[in-house]
Protein backbone atom coordinates (compact mmCIF):
# COMPACT_ATOMS: atom_id res chain seq x y z
CA UNK A 1 0.00 0.00 0.00
CA UNK A 2 2.76 2.38 0.91
CA UNK A 3 4.28 1.78 -2.47
CA UNK A 4 1.06 2.96 -4.09
CA UNK A 5 1.07 6.13 -2.02
CA UNK A 6 4.56 6.86 -3.23
CA UNK A 7 3.65 6.14 -6.81
CA UNK A 8 4.77 8.84 -9.20
CA UNK A 9 3.98 8.97 -12.88
CA UNK A 10 6.71 10.16 -15.18
CA UNK A 11 6.01 11.75 -18.57
CA UNK A 12 7.19 8.73 -20.54
CA UNK A 13 4.91 6.27 -18.73
CA UNK A 14 7.59 5.04 -16.33
CA UNK A 15 6.29 4.57 -12.82
CA UNK A 16 8.71 5.35 -10.05
CA UNK A 17 7.61 3.58 -6.89
CA UNK A 18 10.63 4.16 -4.72
CA UNK A 19 13.97 5.90 -4.95
CA UNK A 20 17.01 3.68 -4.48
CA UNK A 21 17.56 5.13 -1.02
CA UNK A 22 13.97 4.31 0.01
CA UNK A 23 14.21 0.83 -1.47
CA UNK A 24 17.45 0.12 0.40
CA UNK A 25 15.72 1.34 3.59
CA UNK A 26 13.03 -1.29 2.97
CA UNK A 27 15.25 -4.32 2.49
CA UNK A 28 17.57 -3.72 5.45
CA UNK A 29 16.67 -3.53 9.15
CA UNK A 30 17.04 -0.22 10.93
CA UNK A 31 19.85 -1.49 13.13
CA UNK A 32 21.99 -2.62 10.19
CA UNK A 33 24.92 -0.64 8.90
CA UNK A 34 24.67 -0.67 5.12
CA UNK A 35 27.64 -0.33 2.75
CA UNK A 36 27.32 0.14 -0.97
CA UNK A 37 29.70 -1.34 -3.56
CA UNK A 38 29.57 -1.34 -7.35
CA UNK A 39 30.72 -4.76 -8.42
CA UNK A 40 31.84 -6.16 -11.73
CA UNK A 41 31.95 -9.94 -11.81
CA UNK A 42 35.23 -11.52 -12.87
CA UNK A 43 34.88 -13.70 -15.99
CA UNK A 44 34.86 -17.02 -14.07
CA UNK A 45 32.03 -15.85 -11.79
CA UNK A 46 30.11 -14.31 -14.63
CA UNK A 47 30.40 -17.52 -16.68
CA UNK A 48 29.28 -19.62 -13.71
CA UNK A 49 26.21 -17.39 -13.26
CA UNK A 50 25.40 -17.57 -16.97
CA UNK A 51 25.71 -21.36 -16.94
CA UNK A 52 23.50 -21.65 -13.91
CA UNK A 53 20.79 -19.44 -15.42
CA UNK A 54 21.12 -20.79 -18.96
CA UNK A 55 21.28 -17.26 -20.35
CA UNK A 56 23.76 -14.45 -20.55
CA UNK A 57 23.32 -11.77 -17.91
CA UNK A 58 25.12 -8.52 -17.12
CA UNK A 59 28.30 -8.55 -15.06
CA UNK A 60 27.88 -5.21 -13.28
CA UNK A 61 25.64 -4.79 -10.26
CA UNK A 62 25.08 -2.43 -7.35
CA UNK A 63 25.52 -4.45 -4.21
CA UNK A 64 24.56 -3.43 -0.70
CA UNK A 65 25.90 -5.28 2.31
CA UNK A 66 24.04 -5.01 5.64
CA UNK A 67 26.17 -5.48 8.78
CA UNK A 68 24.86 -6.24 12.23
CA UNK A 69 27.38 -6.04 15.09
CA UNK A 70 30.09 -5.85 12.42
CA UNK A 71 29.02 -9.17 10.90
CA UNK A 72 27.49 -9.56 7.47
CA UNK A 73 23.76 -10.10 7.96
CA UNK A 74 22.17 -9.47 4.57
CA UNK A 75 22.90 -8.59 0.96
CA UNK A 76 20.84 -6.73 -1.58
CA UNK A 77 21.36 -6.15 -5.28
CA UNK A 78 19.74 -3.53 -7.46
CA UNK A 79 19.16 -4.79 -10.96
CA UNK A 80 17.22 -4.33 -14.18
CA UNK A 81 15.27 -6.91 -16.07
CA UNK A 82 13.46 -6.56 -19.40
CA UNK A 83 9.67 -6.87 -19.00
CA UNK A 84 8.43 -6.63 -22.59
CA UNK A 85 10.71 -4.22 -24.37
CA UNK A 86 11.65 -1.94 -21.48
CA UNK A 87 13.35 -2.70 -18.21
CA UNK A 88 12.10 -2.55 -14.68
CA UNK A 89 14.44 -1.78 -11.82
CA UNK A 90 14.13 -3.55 -8.51
CA UNK A 91 16.08 -4.60 -5.47
CA UNK A 92 16.33 -8.09 -4.04
CA UNK A 93 17.35 -8.63 -0.41
CA UNK A 94 19.07 -11.95 0.37
CA UNK A 95 20.09 -13.41 3.73
CA UNK A 96 23.62 -14.74 4.35
CA UNK A 97 22.06 -18.20 4.07
CA UNK A 98 21.10 -17.31 0.50
CA UNK A 99 17.34 -16.95 1.01
CA UNK A 100 15.32 -14.06 -0.38
CA UNK A 101 14.28 -11.66 2.38
CA UNK A 102 12.41 -9.17 0.21
CA UNK A 103 11.84 -7.97 -3.35
CA UNK A 104 10.94 -4.32 -3.91
CA UNK A 105 10.15 -2.78 -7.30
CA UNK A 106 11.64 0.69 -7.74
CA UNK A 107 10.78 1.66 -11.32
CA UNK A 108 8.44 -0.02 -13.80
CA UNK A 109 8.67 1.38 -17.33
CA UNK A 110 6.22 -0.61 -19.44
CA UNK A 111 2.71 0.81 -19.89
CA UNK A 112 1.17 -2.42 -18.59
CA UNK A 113 2.18 -4.78 -15.80
CA UNK A 114 2.99 -2.37 -12.98
CA UNK A 115 0.85 -4.48 -10.64
CA UNK A 116 4.03 -6.52 -10.23
CA UNK A 117 5.00 -3.97 -7.57
CA UNK A 118 2.11 -5.07 -5.34
CA UNK A 119 2.88 -6.88 -2.09
CA UNK A 120 0.40 -9.64 -2.89
CA UNK A 121 2.78 -10.78 -5.63
CA UNK A 122 6.13 -9.84 -4.07
CA UNK A 123 5.28 -11.48 -0.73
CA UNK A 124 5.68 -14.84 -2.43
CA UNK A 125 9.45 -14.35 -2.74
CA UNK A 126 10.78 -14.39 0.85
CA UNK A 127 12.30 -17.77 1.71
CA UNK A 128 13.07 -18.74 -1.90
CA UNK A 129 16.65 -19.68 -2.62
CA UNK A 130 18.77 -20.48 -5.63
CA UNK A 131 17.98 -24.19 -5.53
CA UNK A 132 14.26 -23.56 -5.15
CA UNK A 133 12.95 -22.88 -8.66
CA UNK A 134 10.88 -19.80 -9.15
CA UNK A 135 8.54 -20.70 -11.98
CA UNK A 136 5.22 -19.21 -12.93
CA UNK A 137 2.14 -21.16 -11.85
CA UNK A 138 4.25 -23.86 -10.20
CA UNK A 139 6.23 -22.07 -7.54
CA UNK A 140 4.59 -18.67 -7.75
CA UNK A 141 1.28 -17.27 -8.91
CA UNK A 142 1.58 -14.44 -11.39
CA UNK A 143 -0.86 -11.57 -11.66
CA UNK A 144 -3.23 -11.83 -14.59
CA UNK A 145 -2.42 -9.09 -17.11
CA UNK A 146 1.05 -8.57 -15.66
CA UNK A 147 2.58 -11.89 -16.64
CA UNK A 148 5.65 -10.51 -18.42
CA UNK A 149 6.48 -8.23 -15.52
CA UNK A 150 5.97 -11.05 -13.02
CA UNK A 151 8.25 -13.28 -15.09
CA UNK A 152 10.86 -10.52 -15.13
CA UNK A 153 10.73 -10.30 -11.34
CA UNK A 154 11.18 -14.09 -11.07
CA UNK A 155 14.02 -14.13 -13.59
CA UNK A 156 15.73 -11.17 -11.93
CA UNK A 157 15.42 -12.69 -8.48
CA UNK A 158 17.01 -15.93 -9.64
CA UNK A 159 19.74 -13.86 -11.25
CA UNK A 160 20.44 -12.00 -7.99
CA UNK A 161 20.44 -15.25 -6.02
CA UNK A 162 22.93 -16.79 -8.44
CA UNK A 163 25.20 -13.75 -8.40
CA UNK A 164 25.24 -13.75 -4.60
CA UNK A 165 25.89 -17.47 -4.46
CA UNK A 166 28.70 -17.45 -7.03
CA UNK A 167 30.35 -14.17 -6.12
CA UNK A 168 29.92 -14.02 -2.35
CA UNK A 169 28.80 -17.30 -0.76
CA UNK A 170 31.17 -19.53 -2.71
CA UNK A 171 34.00 -17.00 -2.64
CA UNK A 172 34.01 -15.43 0.84
CA UNK A 173 37.32 -13.70 0.08
CA UNK A 174 35.32 -11.34 -2.15
CA UNK A 175 33.18 -10.33 0.83
CA UNK A 176 36.21 -9.44 2.92
CA UNK A 177 37.93 -7.54 0.15
CA UNK A 178 34.72 -5.59 -0.54
CA UNK A 179 34.47 -4.67 3.12
CA UNK A 180 38.11 -3.77 3.64
CA UNK A 181 38.48 -1.93 0.33
CA UNK A 182 39.93 1.41 1.19
CA UNK A 183 38.68 4.46 -0.59
CA UNK A 184 40.63 5.59 -3.64
CA UNK A 185 42.17 9.04 -3.81
CA UNK A 186 41.51 11.31 -6.78
CA UNK A 187 43.65 14.24 -7.90
CA UNK A 188 42.70 16.55 -10.74
CA UNK A 189 44.89 19.07 -12.48
CA UNK A 190 44.57 21.24 -15.54
CA UNK A 191 47.46 20.22 -17.79
CA UNK A 192 48.14 19.87 -21.54
CA UNK A 193 45.20 22.18 -22.19
CA UNK A 194 42.67 19.96 -20.48
CA UNK A 195 41.56 18.51 -17.16
CA UNK A 196 43.40 15.36 -16.21
CA UNK A 197 42.29 13.20 -13.33
CA UNK A 198 44.12 10.38 -11.60
CA UNK A 199 42.34 8.00 -9.24
CA UNK A 200 44.41 5.47 -7.35
CA UNK A 201 44.41 3.13 -4.41
CA UNK A 202 47.46 4.29 -2.47
CA UNK A 203 48.99 7.42 -0.97
CA UNK A 204 47.88 10.77 -2.38
CA UNK A 205 51.42 12.04 -2.90
CA UNK A 206 51.97 9.33 -5.52
CA UNK A 207 49.25 10.99 -7.61
CA UNK A 208 51.20 14.24 -7.26
CA UNK A 209 54.35 12.45 -8.52
CA UNK A 210 52.41 11.21 -11.55
CA UNK A 211 51.22 14.75 -12.28
CA UNK A 212 54.77 16.04 -11.96
CA UNK A 213 55.76 13.55 -14.69
CA UNK A 214 52.91 14.72 -16.95
CA UNK A 215 53.97 18.34 -16.40
CA UNK A 216 57.53 17.43 -17.28
CA UNK A 217 56.36 16.08 -20.63
CA UNK A 218 54.11 19.09 -21.16
CA UNK A 219 57.24 21.20 -20.70
CA UNK A 220 58.90 19.25 -23.54
CA UNK A 221 55.97 18.76 -25.92
CA UNK A 222 53.66 21.76 -25.59
CA UNK A 223 53.07 23.66 -28.81
CA UNK A 224 51.46 26.47 -26.82
CA UNK A 225 54.52 27.12 -24.65
CA UNK A 226 57.14 28.90 -26.81
CA UNK A 227 59.87 27.64 -24.47
CA UNK A 228 59.10 23.92 -24.85
CA UNK A 229 61.66 21.85 -26.71
CA UNK A 230 59.06 21.14 -29.41
CA UNK A 231 58.26 24.84 -29.93
CA UNK A 232 61.95 25.70 -30.04
CA UNK A 233 62.53 23.08 -32.73
CA UNK A 234 59.55 24.39 -34.71
CA UNK A 235 61.29 27.74 -34.68
CA UNK A 236 64.94 26.75 -35.15
CA UNK A 237 64.03 24.00 -37.73
CA UNK A 238 67.08 21.92 -36.77
CA UNK A 239 68.55 21.01 -33.35
CA UNK A 240 70.23 18.37 -31.23
CA UNK A 241 67.39 17.17 -29.04
CA UNK A 242 67.20 15.64 -25.55
CA UNK A 243 66.92 11.85 -25.14
CA UNK A 244 63.33 12.30 -23.88
CA UNK A 245 62.24 14.33 -26.88
CA UNK A 246 64.03 11.95 -29.23
CA UNK A 247 62.14 9.02 -27.71
CA UNK A 248 58.84 10.83 -28.34
CA UNK A 249 59.80 11.69 -31.93
CA UNK A 250 60.86 8.12 -32.69
CA UNK A 251 57.63 6.66 -31.33
CA UNK A 252 55.63 9.18 -33.32
CA UNK A 253 57.58 8.33 -36.44
CA UNK A 254 56.87 4.63 -36.05
CA UNK A 255 53.11 5.40 -36.10
CA UNK A 256 53.66 7.56 -39.19
CA UNK A 257 55.27 4.60 -40.90
CA UNK A 258 52.77 1.95 -39.79
CA UNK A 259 49.82 4.18 -40.76
CA UNK A 260 51.31 4.91 -44.19
CA UNK A 261 51.33 8.61 -43.45
CA UNK A 262 47.78 8.91 -42.05
CA UNK A 263 49.21 9.78 -38.65
CA UNK A 264 51.75 12.54 -38.98
CA UNK A 265 52.91 14.90 -36.24
CA UNK A 266 54.35 17.30 -38.83
CA UNK A 267 50.84 18.52 -39.73
CA UNK A 268 51.12 21.62 -37.48
CA UNK A 269 51.27 24.02 -40.44
CA UNK A 270 48.17 22.47 -41.98
CA UNK A 271 46.26 22.55 -38.68
CA UNK A 272 47.08 26.29 -38.41
CA UNK A 273 46.27 26.77 -42.10
CA UNK A 274 42.67 25.74 -41.36
CA UNK A 275 42.68 28.05 -38.31
CA UNK A 276 42.16 25.41 -35.60
CA UNK A 277 44.63 26.51 -32.88
CA UNK A 278 43.39 30.10 -32.72
CA UNK A 279 39.82 29.42 -33.85
CA UNK A 280 40.28 31.80 -36.81
CA UNK A 281 38.80 29.15 -39.09
CA UNK A 282 39.32 29.44 -42.83
CA UNK A 283 39.66 27.34 -45.95
CA UNK A 284 43.22 27.50 -47.29
CA UNK A 285 43.68 28.10 -51.01
CA UNK A 286 44.83 25.25 -53.27
CA UNK A 287 48.23 26.90 -53.61
CA UNK A 288 48.61 27.20 -49.87
CA UNK A 289 47.61 23.54 -49.37
CA UNK A 290 50.10 22.40 -51.97
CA UNK A 291 52.86 24.30 -50.24
CA UNK A 292 51.86 22.87 -46.81
CA UNK A 293 51.97 19.30 -48.17
CA UNK A 294 55.68 19.60 -48.88
CA UNK A 295 57.08 18.39 -45.53
CA UNK A 296 59.66 16.08 -44.01
CA UNK A 297 61.19 15.08 -40.67
CA UNK A 298 64.82 13.97 -40.64
CA UNK A 299 66.36 12.24 -37.61
CA UNK A 300 70.11 11.54 -37.63
CA UNK A 301 71.37 10.45 -34.21
CA UNK A 302 70.04 13.16 -31.90
CA UNK A 303 69.97 15.75 -34.71
CA UNK A 304 66.43 16.47 -35.84
CA UNK A 305 65.59 18.62 -38.84
CA UNK A 306 62.20 19.88 -39.97
CA UNK A 307 61.97 20.12 -43.72
CA UNK A 308 59.73 22.23 -45.95
CA UNK A 309 56.45 23.18 -44.26
CA UNK A 310 56.83 20.63 -41.44
CA UNK A 311 55.68 21.93 -38.06
CA UNK A 312 55.29 19.59 -35.12
CA UNK A 313 51.84 19.20 -33.55
CA UNK A 314 51.73 16.75 -30.60
CA UNK A 315 47.90 16.91 -30.40
CA UNK A 316 47.15 13.38 -31.58
CA UNK A 317 49.63 11.49 -29.38
CA UNK A 318 51.06 13.74 -26.64
CA UNK A 319 48.42 13.05 -24.00
CA UNK A 320 48.61 9.30 -24.51
CA UNK A 321 52.40 9.40 -24.36
CA UNK A 322 52.38 11.48 -21.14
CA UNK A 323 49.78 9.11 -19.59
CA UNK A 324 52.05 6.14 -20.23
CA UNK A 325 54.95 7.91 -18.55
CA UNK A 326 52.70 8.68 -15.56
CA UNK A 327 51.72 4.99 -15.44
CA UNK A 328 55.45 4.11 -15.39
CA UNK A 329 55.80 6.34 -12.32
CA UNK A 330 52.82 4.73 -10.58
CA UNK A 331 54.08 1.21 -11.26
CA UNK A 332 57.55 2.13 -10.01
CA UNK A 333 55.96 3.37 -6.78
CA UNK A 334 54.17 0.06 -6.28
CA UNK A 335 50.66 1.17 -7.30
CA UNK A 336 48.65 -1.71 -8.73
CA UNK A 337 45.25 -0.06 -9.05
CA UNK A 338 44.70 3.30 -10.76
CA UNK A 339 42.70 5.06 -13.42
CA UNK A 340 44.23 7.93 -15.39
CA UNK A 341 41.81 10.05 -17.33
CA UNK A 342 42.78 12.61 -19.95
CA UNK A 343 39.26 12.86 -21.33
CA UNK A 344 39.74 11.49 -24.82
CA UNK A 345 42.44 9.03 -23.70
CA UNK A 346 42.33 6.97 -20.51
CA UNK A 347 44.48 4.23 -18.99
CA UNK A 348 43.31 1.63 -16.47
CA UNK A 349 45.99 0.10 -14.26
CA UNK A 350 44.93 -3.17 -12.60
CA UNK A 351 41.41 -3.29 -11.19
CA UNK A 352 39.71 -1.56 -8.26
CA UNK A 353 39.83 -3.94 -5.25
CA UNK A 354 37.26 -6.71 -5.57
CA UNK A 355 36.16 -5.65 -9.04
CA UNK A 356 36.77 -6.92 -12.55
CA UNK A 357 38.05 -3.63 -13.95
CA UNK A 358 37.50 0.10 -14.35
CA UNK A 359 34.18 1.01 -15.97
CA UNK A 360 34.17 3.59 -18.78
CA UNK A 361 31.38 4.90 -20.98
CA UNK A 362 31.57 5.76 -24.68
CA UNK A 363 29.84 8.93 -25.68
CA UNK A 364 27.36 9.13 -28.55
CA UNK A 365 29.07 11.54 -30.99
CA UNK A 366 25.69 12.80 -32.22
CA UNK A 367 24.28 13.48 -28.74
CA UNK A 368 27.33 13.97 -26.58
CA UNK A 369 25.28 13.85 -23.36
CA UNK A 370 24.20 10.30 -24.19
CA UNK A 371 26.29 7.15 -24.08
CA UNK A 372 26.49 4.36 -26.64
CA UNK A 373 27.71 1.77 -24.16
CA UNK A 374 30.28 0.82 -21.56
CA UNK A 375 33.46 -1.19 -21.24
CA UNK A 376 35.45 -2.51 -18.32
CA UNK A 377 39.17 -1.86 -18.63
CA UNK A 378 42.15 -3.60 -17.05
CA UNK A 379 45.78 -2.83 -17.86
CA UNK A 380 44.76 -1.21 -21.13
CA UNK A 381 44.02 2.14 -22.67
CA UNK A 382 41.02 3.54 -24.47
CA UNK A 383 41.12 6.52 -26.77
CA UNK A 384 38.45 8.31 -28.75
CA UNK A 385 38.98 10.72 -31.62
CA UNK A 386 35.84 12.67 -32.46
CA UNK A 387 34.78 15.20 -35.06
CA UNK A 388 32.67 16.90 -32.38
CA UNK A 389 35.67 17.99 -30.31
CA UNK A 390 36.89 20.81 -32.56
CA UNK A 391 35.26 21.76 -35.83
CA UNK A 392 33.74 24.61 -37.79
CA UNK A 393 30.88 24.69 -40.23
CA UNK A 394 30.62 26.60 -43.47
CA UNK A 395 27.81 26.36 -46.03
CA UNK A 396 26.38 23.32 -44.23
CA UNK A 397 29.66 21.40 -44.36
CA UNK A 398 31.56 20.34 -41.25
CA UNK A 399 35.33 20.78 -41.18
CA UNK A 400 36.85 18.81 -38.29
CA UNK A 401 40.24 19.09 -36.61
CA UNK A 402 41.59 15.77 -37.87
CA UNK A 403 43.24 16.18 -41.23
CA UNK A 404 44.37 13.71 -43.82
CA UNK A 405 48.06 14.63 -43.94
CA UNK A 406 48.27 13.40 -47.54
CA UNK A 407 45.55 15.68 -48.92
CA UNK A 408 45.82 18.36 -46.26
CA UNK A 409 42.03 18.37 -45.86
CA UNK A 410 39.77 17.62 -42.87
CA UNK A 411 38.47 14.05 -42.81
CA UNK A 412 34.78 13.66 -43.68
CA UNK A 413 32.31 10.85 -43.13
CA UNK A 414 33.45 9.77 -39.66
CA UNK A 415 32.05 11.06 -36.39
CA UNK A 416 34.23 9.14 -33.95
CA UNK A 417 36.72 6.33 -33.53
CA UNK A 418 37.22 4.56 -30.20
CA UNK A 419 39.78 1.90 -29.64
CA UNK A 420 41.49 -0.23 -27.02
CA UNK A 421 45.26 -0.76 -26.92
CA UNK A 422 47.89 -1.97 -24.50
CA UNK A 423 49.37 1.52 -24.09
CA UNK A 424 47.83 4.99 -24.07
CA UNK A 425 50.35 6.13 -26.71
CA UNK A 426 49.17 3.47 -29.10
CA UNK A 427 45.48 4.06 -28.35
CA UNK A 428 45.85 7.81 -28.88
CA UNK A 429 47.86 7.54 -32.11
CA UNK A 430 45.73 4.76 -33.60
CA UNK A 431 42.37 6.40 -32.85
CA UNK A 432 43.58 9.37 -34.90
CA UNK A 433 45.07 7.32 -37.74
CA UNK A 434 41.97 5.09 -38.06
CA UNK A 435 39.89 8.28 -38.13
CA UNK A 436 41.90 9.23 -41.23
CA UNK A 437 42.06 5.78 -42.86
CA UNK A 438 38.54 4.55 -42.10
CA UNK A 439 37.04 1.41 -40.54
CA UNK A 440 38.73 -0.87 -43.08
CA UNK A 441 42.05 -0.15 -41.37
CA UNK A 442 40.73 -0.97 -37.86
CA UNK A 443 42.45 -3.78 -35.98
CA UNK A 444 41.91 -5.20 -32.50
CA UNK A 445 39.01 -3.79 -30.49
CA UNK A 446 37.74 -0.75 -32.35
CA UNK A 447 34.45 1.05 -32.96
CA UNK A 448 33.85 3.62 -35.69
CA UNK A 449 30.76 5.82 -35.86
CA UNK A 450 30.09 7.05 -39.38
CA UNK A 451 28.13 10.10 -40.37
CA UNK A 452 25.17 10.00 -42.71
CA UNK A 453 25.09 6.23 -43.22
CA UNK A 454 22.11 3.98 -42.54
CA UNK A 455 24.06 1.86 -40.13
CA UNK A 456 26.47 4.33 -38.64
CA UNK A 457 28.14 2.19 -35.95
CA UNK A 458 30.80 -0.28 -37.03
CA UNK A 459 32.56 -2.57 -34.57
CA UNK A 460 35.35 -5.11 -34.92
CA UNK A 461 34.52 -8.54 -33.43
CA UNK A 462 36.98 -7.90 -30.58
CA UNK A 463 35.15 -4.68 -29.69
CA UNK A 464 31.74 -6.34 -29.85
CA UNK A 465 32.96 -8.92 -27.32
CA UNK A 466 33.79 -6.34 -24.68
CA UNK A 467 31.27 -3.58 -25.40
CA UNK A 468 28.21 -3.49 -23.19
CA UNK A 469 25.14 -1.69 -24.55
CA UNK A 470 22.75 -0.36 -21.85
CA UNK A 471 20.00 -2.91 -21.28
CA UNK A 472 17.07 -0.54 -21.99
CA UNK A 473 18.16 -0.27 -25.61
CA UNK A 474 19.58 -3.77 -25.91
CA UNK A 475 17.66 -6.48 -27.69
CA UNK A 476 15.73 -8.79 -25.33
CA UNK A 477 18.13 -10.97 -23.40
CA UNK A 478 18.42 -14.33 -25.13
CA UNK A 479 20.33 -17.55 -24.78
CA UNK A 480 24.07 -17.48 -25.21
P1 LIG B 1 43.10 13.28 -31.54
O2 LIG B 1 42.00 14.00 -30.85
O3 LIG B 1 43.99 12.47 -30.64
O4 LIG B 1 42.61 12.45 -32.69
O5 LIG B 1 44.12 14.36 -32.12
C6 LIG B 1 43.68 15.33 -33.03
C7 LIG B 1 44.67 16.48 -33.05
O8 LIG B 1 45.90 16.06 -33.64
C9 LIG B 1 44.18 17.64 -33.90
O10 LIG B 1 43.50 18.60 -33.10
C11 LIG B 1 45.45 18.18 -34.50
O12 LIG B 1 46.08 19.05 -33.60
C13 LIG B 1 46.32 16.96 -34.67
N14 LIG B 1 46.11 16.24 -35.94
C15 LIG B 1 45.13 16.42 -36.86
N16 LIG B 1 45.22 15.52 -37.85
C17 LIG B 1 46.29 14.73 -37.56
C18 LIG B 1 46.90 13.62 -38.21
N19 LIG B 1 46.41 13.13 -39.33
N20 LIG B 1 48.01 13.08 -37.62
C21 LIG B 1 48.51 13.57 -36.48
N22 LIG B 1 47.97 14.62 -35.83
C23 LIG B 1 46.87 15.19 -36.35
MG1 LIG C 1 44.86 10.64 -30.87
**392 and 339 share one domain:** yes
The predicted model gives 227-246 an average pLDDT of 98
Tell me which of 442 and 178 has the higher pLDDT. 442
**171 and 280 share one domain:** no
Q: How many CA atoms lie within 13 A of 464 on its CB side?
A: 5
**202 and 144 share one domain:** no
Closest among 478, 192, 203 to 329, alpha carbons compared: 203
Apex 122 CA angle, 73 and 8, nearest 5: 105
The number of the ligand nearest the C-alpha atom of 390 reads: 1
Closest ligand 1 atom, residue 403 Cα: 16
Q: Give the span between the Cα atoms of 183 and 206, in whole angstroms.
A: 15
CA of 277 to the centre of ligand 1 (A): 11
Residue 28's domain comprises 2-179
The DSSP letter of residue 167 is I
Closest ligand 1 atom, residue 276 Cα: 10
* Ligand 1 neighbour 264 (Cβ under 6 A): yes
Parallel/antiparallel/unpaired status of strands 414-421 and 409-410: unpaired
H/E stretch holding 65: strand 60-68
At 243-259, the pLDDT tens digits run 999 999 999 999 999 99
pLDDT in the model for residue 13? 66
CA of 147 to the centre of ligand 1 (A): 54
CA of 434 to the centre of ligand 2 (A): 10
Residue 48: other Cβ atoms inside 10 A: 19
pTM (predicted TM-score): 0.67
**284 and 387 share one domain:** yes
Cβ contact 314:330 at 8 Å: no
Long-range pairs of 347-352 with CB within 8 A, sequence gap ≥ 24: 347/323, 347/380, 347/381, 347/423, 347/424, 348/377, 348/378, 348/379, 348/380, 348/381, 348/382, 349/200, 349/379, 350/378, 350/379, 351/378, 352/181, 352/184, 352/201
The number of the ligand nearest the C-alpha atom of 253 reads: 1
At 8-55, the pLDDT tens digits run 444 456 889 999 999 999 999 999 999 888 787 878 899 999 999 999
**Ligand 1, pocket-test mutation among 230, 258, 267, 363, most atoms within 8 A of CB:** 267
> Which among 149, 179, 209 is the end of a domain?
179
Total domains present in the chain: 2
* Ligand 1 neighbour 402 (Cβ under 6 A): yes
The predicted model gives 312-334 an average pLDDT of 95
Query: Can you list the positions of beta strands (E) in 122-247?
Result: 185-191, 194-200, 238-240
* Ligand 1 neighbour 436 (Cβ under 6 A): yes
At 351-380, the pLDDT tens digits run 987 678 999 999 888 887 889 999 999 999
**355 and 395 share one domain:** yes
CA of 426 to the centre of ligand 2 (A): 9
Interior/surface letters 270-294, b for 16+ CB within 10 angstroms, e for the rest: bbbbbebeeeeeebbeeebbebbbe
**104 and 172 share one domain:** yes
Closest ligand 1 atom, residue 436 Cα: 19
pLDDT in the model for residue 108? 93
**422 and 477 share one domain:** yes
CA of 262 to the centre of ligand 2 (A): 12
pLDDT of 476 above 90: no
At 124-169, the pLDDT tens digits run 999 999 988 788 888 889 888 899 999 999 999 999 999 999 999 9
**107 and 215 share one domain:** no
The predicted model gives 386-393 an average pLDDT of 85
At 443-472, the pLDDT tens digits run 999 999 999 867 689 999 999 999 998 765
* Ligand 1 neighbour 405 (Cβ under 6 A): yes
The predicted model gives 186-197 an average pLDDT of 95
CA of 464 to the centre of ligand 1 (A): 26
The number of the ligand nearest the C-alpha atom of 424 reads: 2
Q: Is 161 helix (H, G, I), strand (E, B) or coil?
A: helix
CA of 317 to the centre of ligand 2 (A): 5
Q: Is 299 helix (H, G, I), strand (E, B) or coil?
A: strand
> Which among 133, 163, 179 is the end of a domain?
179
% pLDDT > 70, the chain: 94
Query: Can you list the positions of beta strands (E) in 278-378?
Result: 295-300, 303-308, 338-341, 345-349, 358-364, 367-377
The predicted model gives 373-398 an average pLDDT of 91
* Ligand 1 neighbour 64 (Cβ under 6 A): no
Minimum CA distance residue for ligand 1 atom 23: 316
CA of 316 to the centre of ligand 1 (A): 4
**116 and 64 share one domain:** yes
Distances in whole angstroms, Cα of residue 61 to Cα of each of 92, 173, 348 = 12, 18, 20
**207 and 226 share one domain:** yes
**307 and 388 share one domain:** yes
Residues with Cβ within 8 Å of 438's Cβ and at least 6 positions away in sequence, in order, are 413, 414, 448
**358 and 470 share one domain:** yes
The number of the ligand nearest the C-alpha atom of 260 reads: 1
> Which among 179, 202, 229 is the end of a domain?
179
Minimum CA distance residue for ligand 1 atom 6: 316
The CATH number of whichever domain residue 311 belongs to comes to: 3.10.520.10
* Ligand 1 neighbour 414 (Cβ under 6 A): no
| Mean pLDDT over the full length of the chain | 91
pLDDT in the model for residue 181? 64
Amino acid sequence: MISLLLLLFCQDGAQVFLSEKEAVGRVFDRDMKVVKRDICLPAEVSNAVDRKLGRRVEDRYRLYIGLKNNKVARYAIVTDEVTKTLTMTFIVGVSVKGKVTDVVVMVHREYVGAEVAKRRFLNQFPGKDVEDPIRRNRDMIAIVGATLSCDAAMRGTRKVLSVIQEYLTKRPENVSSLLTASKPVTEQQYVMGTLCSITLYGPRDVAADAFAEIRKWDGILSNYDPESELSRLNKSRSANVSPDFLRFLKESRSFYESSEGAFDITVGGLVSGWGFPKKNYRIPSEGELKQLLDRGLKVEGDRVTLEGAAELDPGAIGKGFALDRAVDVLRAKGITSAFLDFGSTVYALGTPPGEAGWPVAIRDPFQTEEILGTLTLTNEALSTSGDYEKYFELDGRRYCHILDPRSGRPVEGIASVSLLAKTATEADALSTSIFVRGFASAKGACMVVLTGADSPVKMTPAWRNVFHVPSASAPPVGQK
